[in-house]
Amino acid sequence: MVHAKAGKAAGKSFSDTIRERLGGHTITLCYQCGTCASSCPVAKRTPDFNPREVIKLSLLGEKDEILGGQSIWLCCSCYNCQERCPQKVEIADVIYAIRNIAIEKGHIPSIYIEFFNAISNDGRIVKVSQFAENKRPTLSLPPLQPTGVEAVRKILAATGFDKILPKKEESQ
C-alpha cells in the first residue's frame, strides 16, 4: 500500500494535482501489483522506464523526480497496461496528465521542441526533402498539398501552445 507523503501538509498533494487533470483521475486506485510493468513493451527494453514506478513515485509526491526526469516521456502509449490493470488505472492517460503538468513547468524534451518548431514553421513534423518530392511522380503519387501552416499556427496560438516555448527557454 502506498501513502502520499510530500505536499500533503503544504496543501494539495502531487497526486491530487494529477487527479484533477484530464486522464489523471484514476491514479490513486493503484495498489502496486506490477501488472502494468510486466505488460509494458518499453519496460521490457529498458530499465529506465517502469509504469508501476512512475505511479508509485507520483503517489509518494516525488514530483521533482517525475516532472524533471525522462521516464514519463518513454511511454509509447500502446495501452497494454491500461487494458490489463486490475484496478482500472488509466495508466497511459495518467502519464499524459503528468506530461501536461511537466510541459507547463517547462520540462519539455528537446525532441518536442523540434517537433513544435517544425510544425510551426512548415506545418509538418518531418520536412519533406526535395528527393522525396521528386520521387513521388515516379511512384504515381500526386504532388503533396500545401500544409496550411497559417491554420496550424492559429491552432497553436488558440491552445496556448505557442506560449510554452518561452517558458522552456527561461527554465534553461
Which residues of this protein are in contact with ligand SF4, per CB under 6 A?
30-36, 39-42, 51-52, 55, 75-81, 85, 87, 89, 91-92
What distance in Å separates the CA atoms of residue 21 and residue 15, rounded to the nearest whole number?
10
Residue 163 Cβ, how far from ligand SF4 at the closest point, in Å? 28
Q: Which amino acid is at 53?
A: E
Name residue 136's amino acid: R
- CA 28 – CA 100 distance, rounded (Å): 18
Contact 68, 106 (CB under 8 A): no
Q: Shortest approach of ligand SF4 to residue 72 CB, angstroms?
A: 10
Nearest of 53, 2, 9 to residue 29 by alpha carbon: 2
Contact between residue 71 and residue 48 where contact means Cβ atoms under 8 Å apart: yes
Residue 153 C-beta: closest distance to ligand SF4, Å: 31
**Which residue, 15 or 35, is less far from ligand SF4 as judged by CB?**
35
Min dist CB 7 to ligand SF4, Å, is 20
Q: Nearest-CA neighbor of 55 among 81, 22, 83, 20?
A: 81
CB nearer ligand SF4, residue 79 or residue 124:
79
